[in-house]
Every structure is written in C-alpha cells, then in structure tokens.
Amino acid sequence: MELTVEGPNPGEFRWTILVDDANTADGALDETLQQTLAANPDGAVQLWIREVDDASDAAATAAGFVAYRDLWQLRCPLPNTASGLTTRAFTEADLEEFVQVNNRAFRWHPEQGGLTADAARTTMTEDWFNPDGFRLHHHDESGALIGYCWTKIHADHEPPLGEIYVIAIDPSQHGRGLGKPMTLAGLEWLSEQGLEHGMLYVESDNDPANATYAAIGFSRHHTDRAYRLER
C-alpha cells in the first residue's frame, strides 16, 4: 500500500490523504488511516482511494470518512473513428485564450476551474508535455478558439497509454455536437503515435460526458473515490 499526506493546505481541506494500491486484507489500511488522522488532528481531511473496492471503502467508512465523489477512469482501444474535425497544435500565443475557454468550461470543477496562465505554464514544463498533442479547434468564421483536447502519453505504462488529459468546448458552443469529434481528434493523434489504448478520467455523475464517451467506445476501468472528514 502506498499512502501520502498533503498539507497543511488552504481551502476546504487542510489535509489530503492519497491511497494507492490499498492492501486491506490484513487491516493495513484501517490501521494506517487511524495513525495518519492521529498525527494530523486539526482541520478538515479529504481522502482519495485509487481503484477503490468494497474492502477499502469499508475501511474508509470505519475511520469516519463519508464518500462524496467518484472519478471514473475510462479506456478504449485505438484506433477509433476519424474525427472529421480541423485542429492544430498549441502554441505559446494560444495560452491566454486557452485559459479563458478553460475557465468558462470548468467554472464548476474543483481542480480544473480557475486555471491561471502561470499554472498552465508550469504543467507545460513537465517532461510529457507535447504541444503537438494539444489539439485546438477554432471557429470557421471568427477564428476564435472554441474547443481543445489536451493529450498526455504515459510512456512508463505497460503498454504505453494515451490519455485525454483535459478536453473542453466553450459553453457558448454547447449544443453543436462538438464534444464527440473533439474527443476523437485527441484519440486520433494518440493513435498516430502508435498507441493502442486511450484513457480519460470523468466525474461519475457527468451524464452528458459519459454518454458521449460510451458512444465512442469507452468503458469503465476503475473508480477513484474521494471522502471527507470534518473535525
């Protein structure tokens, strides 16, 4: 079992506990959670369990946590259907417009909303970042950015896995059916890099997005679950 603690942090949760590869067969998660809570007694605590199962969910509940969010990892085989959408690679000149579209599209999202240009630049310094895999779609007449599909290649995964890292359509363009071809544009690029599997994360209760992804051929691989503990 891998467990890390982040904090103290500003915002709603002072502490975040991250659990990966939870081993609940011998009660290890139960004991570790209790020890962690005892060591970090002040403020609200958030717990994330990756690939949650019944045993790890029960351990979290026994420690006093209440589940409030499920994040699904979906996967699909590649290649998929051609997108039919005209896209181009991201450039530095696109940064401010991208941030504006992102923040309009993710106004509701706890992590992706409120993105700043500096935060985006920091992410773009990561070794995996490839501007060619950051596909932008513009309005035919105005030239304004109306959608993007930012991809990420997990080269250390066996076999390598291509992720739809972030995807969004400007809210002013909702209802035009752009979500599916925008997703396919990202999958198309990943397939061109020789990858055989695509992946993305989506909120379990985002029904419109999940309907789009199911139509593309994605299926659920596992669930990451978030819990809260108020003290």
Closest C-alpha to 228, from 9, 7, 16: 16
Whether residue 3 is predicted with pLDDT greater than 80 in this model: the reply is yes
Question: Is residue 19 a contact partner of residue 205, using CB atoms and an 8 Å limit?
Answer: no
Q: Examine the pLDDT at 25 and tell me if it is beyond 60.
A: no
Per residue in 173-200, pLDDT tens? 998 999 999 999 999 999 999 999 999 9
Query: Counting beta carbons within 10 angstroms of the beta carbon of residue 99, is it exposed (0 to 12), middle (13 to 18) or buried (19 or more)?
Result: middle
Residue 60 and residue 79 share a domain: no
8 A C-beta contact, residue 71 and residue 223? yes
- State the helix-helix crossing angle for 179-192 and 207-216, rounded to 10 degrees: 50
d(CA 214, CA 5): 34
**121 and 192, same domain (yes or no):** yes
Helices 28-39 & 54-62, crossing angle to 10 degrees? Answer: 40
108 and 162 in a single domain? The answer is yes
Q: Which value, to the nearest 10 degrees, does the dihedral of the CA atoms of residues 203, 154, 76, 139 take?
A: 70
One-letter amino acid of 17: I
What is the reported pLDDT for 31?
Answer: 81
* Residue 229 is assigned to a structural domain of this protein: no
d(C-alpha 170, C-alpha 148), whole Å: 9
CA–CA–CA angle 54, 59, 60 (5° rounding): 100
Please identify, among 17, 43, 64, the residue that sits at the C-terminal boundary of a domain.
64
pLDDT range class, residue 41, cuts 50, 70, 90? low
Of 34, 64, 94, which one is at a domain's C-terminal end? 64
* Structural domains of the chain, count: 2
The band of 35, judged by pLDDT with boundaries at 50, 70 and 90, is: confident
> Is 151 part of any domain?
yes
At position 228, the amino acid (one-letter code) is: R
Structure tokens of 9?
């942090």
Please indicate, yes or no, if residue 43 is contained in any of the structural domains.
Answer: yes
The C-alpha atoms of residue 227 and residue 29 are separated, in whole angstroms, by 14
Assigned token pair, 8 = 């103290």
Same-domain pairing of 202 and 114: yes
pLDDT digits 0-9 by tens, 75-119:
999 999 999 999 999 999 999 999 999 999 998 877 787 899 999
Q: Determine the pLDDT at residue 172.
A: 92
Domain at 85, CATH number: 3.40.630.30
Same domain, 82 and 195: yes
Q: Is this prediction's pTM over 0.85? A: yes
User: Is 231 part of any domain?
Assistant: no
Neighbours of 83 (CB within 10 A): 20
Please report whether residue 42 resides in a domain. yes
Residue 207 has pLDDT above 80, yes or no: yes
In this prediction, residue 22 has a pLDDT band, given cuts at 50, 70 and 90, of: low
Same domain, 86 and 56: no
pLDDT for the residue numbered 75? 98
| Residue 150 placed within a domain | yes
Question: Domain check: are 79 and 133 in the same one?
Answer: yes
Q: Is residue 175 part of a domain?
A: yes
Condensed to tens digits (0 to 9), the pLDDT of residues 119-173 reads 999 999 999 999 999 999 999 889 999 999 999 999 999 999 999 999 999 999 9
- Is residue 44 domain-shared with residue 149, that is, in the same domain? no
Rg (CA), the chain: 19
Quote the pLDDT of residue 40. 67
Where in the sequence is the domain holding 205, given as residue range(s)? 75-221
Residue 195 confidence (pLDDT)? 97
In this predicted structure, the answer to whether residue 27 has a pLDDT above a threshold of 80 is no
If asked whether residues 120 and 216 sit together in one domain, one would say: yes
Assigned token pair, 21 = 């590869």
- Inform me whether the pLDDT recorded for 219 exceeds 70: yes
Residues 47, 86 within the same domain: no
The pLDDT of residue 26 is 56
Domain boundary among 10, 41, 64: 64
pLDDT at 170: 96
Residue 24 has pLDDT above 60, yes or no: no
Position 195 in a domain: yes
**pLDDT single digits (tens) 64-76:** 999 999 999 999 9
